[in-house]
Amino acid sequence: MSLSTRLKNQHLLWRAGFGPAVEQLNELSLYSPQQYYQALVKASANEPVPLEAVDDYLKGFFQGMGDVIRMQTNLSDEERKKFRQKNRQGVRNLNLLWFKEMVNSSAQLREKMALFWHGHFACRNLNVLYQQQLLHILRKYGLGSFRTLLHEVSKSAAMLNFLNNQQNRKDHPNENFAREVMELFTLGRGHYSENDIKEAARAFTGWGANLKGEFVFRKFQHDFGKKTFLNRTGNFDGEDILNILLEQKQTARFITRKIYSFFVNDNPDDEKTEWLARRFYQSDYNISKLMEDIFTSDWFYESRNIGCKIKSPVELLVGMQRLLPMKIENETMILVLQRLLGQVLFFPPNVAGWPGGKNWIDSSTLLLRMRLPAIFMNEEALNVQPKPDDDQMMGQPDAEENILPKNRNLTERYGKALKAEIRWDEFLRFYQNLPKEKLIISISETLLQAKTNVPVQVIYSFSKRKDQKDFIKAATLYMMSLPEYQLC
């Protein structure tokens, strides 16, 4: 059975972005997926404006202090406490800034790629300046060259600190950074030896960053001796190691399979991923060409790849707000929802990032996902408490305070309503001229990428309203509460 142009374009918008915006509903049937993809590429072509969450206090702090030692010796206990509080608030603000960018930006492809790299280069760092700098790298280079992206991320203050390379010195190498660069960023587990890790760690000695987040090579801490890495011998430094890793075709395979799993299907097709990886390698890791190969292929739009992926919490929350624009008075509750659903931006569960797929769903998160429409309509309070999760908190019992403002009263913290005001006007205008008997099918075609087994009569009975607008609202919210809405 041939699929409609509308369904294909919605599929593209969910995978290359965060779903259709309400203002796009009129045009989903007018353009081919290839035309729509070129529009997405054009909208993401300009260099992004950096998202600024560092306030004046922290700006002055980072710019005015020469090094960490001076900072530590000159600060009083009260100043240190204020510095930590400002950083925590800054990371929360950066989270909300990026979340809003995902909802509102026309550069959907850029922000979706940045979200992918945010999970690939998973990094938890409570220095908001460092996180802000790393996010800009992901947004700026995420559609460019993976070669450039890998080098930039590897030299970022956020990653060097998170993976302990600040402690990597000659005669006392720290292997953490070198190990993760191979296992998580390039080759994948099983394609290197323990000796390769040791030799790579020696090459990365002396790599660090200053308080302003600028890369610093401390030559007196660097091991200038010969190293043997992946059967190559030389006086290698960190850049040499990264370039040798990029020479390996396995790096192209590893990255391509992760991209396929994220954007196409949780179960990669070996033949297609090998073809994509070969072209990715031959293009010297041109990410845009790889994504074009995926999003303009016929197989991307096959029915087996549509409605087969579970939306991540961020995709779910952003997608709802793109289709139903809303003003949220209590924005902190967006952070609470991220925490409850299992994906807090800038707080990956571990160095491997979020596992995705069926891991997004358990009995509690599924129920909360299906309650979201009622919560956004302020019909229900958010009276759920997050489960203790040592993996999510990375062994830090107070790590949740790094995500949410301090408040000992759990009922008060989690029982608040979102105080969301949904702006229905444009959505209602799109459906206002349809007869009632066609409304359910039309709304379901917009909202659901997977077919539902719920009979139309059930939706009619649940959405029984005399007023046309009330009927559309009720039917929409009911369908957003279905399990099938969790799929894209």
Helix axes 146-154, 128-141, angle to 10 degrees: 170
State CA 184 to chain mean position distance: 16
Mean pLDDT score, 112-122: 98
Map out the domains of the chain as residue ranges: 5-43+249-305, 313-422, 425-486
Q: Specify the pLDDT at position 413.
A: 58
Mean pLDDT score, 80-84: 86
Q: Specify the pLDDT at position 463.
A: 73
- Rg over alpha carbons for the chain, rounded to the nearest Å, is 24
pLDDT of 264 > 80? The answer is: yes
Top-confidence range, 298-307, 329-338, 393-402 = 298-307
Instruction: Please tell me the distance from the alpha carbon of residue 41 to that of residue 107, in angstroms, as a whole number.
Output: 8
Instruction: Please tell me the distance from the alpha carbon of residue 423 to that of residue 427, in angstroms, as a whole number.
Output: 8
Name the DSSP letter for residue 419: -
Q: Specify the pLDDT at position 66.
A: 46
The 10s digit of each residue's pLDDT in 209-258 is: 999 999 999 999 999 999 999 999 999 999 999 999 999 999 999 999 99
Q: Specify the pLDDT at position 388.
A: 60
Q: Specify the pLDDT at position 165.
A: 97
Q: Specify the pLDDT at position 394.
A: 44
Tokens 């309650």 belong to residue:
371
- Of 386 and 16, which is predicted with more confidence? 16
The 10s digit of each residue's pLDDT in 343-377 is: 999 999 999 999 999 999 998 899 999 999 999 98
Q: Specify the pLDDT at position 409.
A: 47
Q: What are the beta bridge partners of residue 228?
A: 233
Q: Give the confidence band of 397 by pLDDT, cuts at 50, 70, 90.
A: very low
Mean pLDDT score, 402-410: 51
Q: How far apart are the first and last CA of the chain?
A: 19
Q: Specify the pLDDT at position 3.
A: 87
Q: Give the confidence band of 147 by pLDDT, cuts at 50, 70, 90.
A: very high
The 10s digit of each residue's pLDDT in 30-40 is: 999 999 999 99
Q: Specify the pLDDT at position 59.
A: 82
Instruction: Please tell me the distance from the alpha carbon of residue 49 to that of residue 37, in angstroms, as a whole number.
Output: 22
Mean pLDDT score, 298-305: 97
If phi > 0 it is left, if psi is from -120 to 50 it is alpha, else beta; for residue 342 that is: left
pLDDT of 9 > 70? The answer is: yes
Say which range, 159-173, 363-377, 380-394, 441-455, has the weakest mean pLDDT: 380-394
- For 227-238, give the DSSP string: EEETTEEE---H
Q: Specify the pLDDT at position 459.
A: 77
Instruction: Please tell me the distance from the alpha carbon of residue 105 to that of residue 245, in angstroms, as a whole number.
Output: 34
Q: Give the confidence band of 69 by pLDDT, cuts at 50, 70, 90.
A: very low
Strand-strand pairing, 227-229 and 232-234: antiparallel
Q: Specify the pLDDT at position 391.
A: 46
Q: Specify the pLDDT at position 442.
A: 94
Structure tokens at 428: 């209602």
Q: Specify the pLDDT at position 210.
A: 94
pLDDT of 387 > 70? The answer is: no
Say which range, 115-124, 235-244, 248-257, 388-397, has the weakest mean pLDDT: 388-397
Please, are residues 112 and 18 in contact by the beta-carbon 8 Å criterion? yes
- Of 364 and 5, which is predicted with more confidence? 5
Mean pLDDT score, 464-488: 91
pLDDT of 481 > 50? The answer is: yes
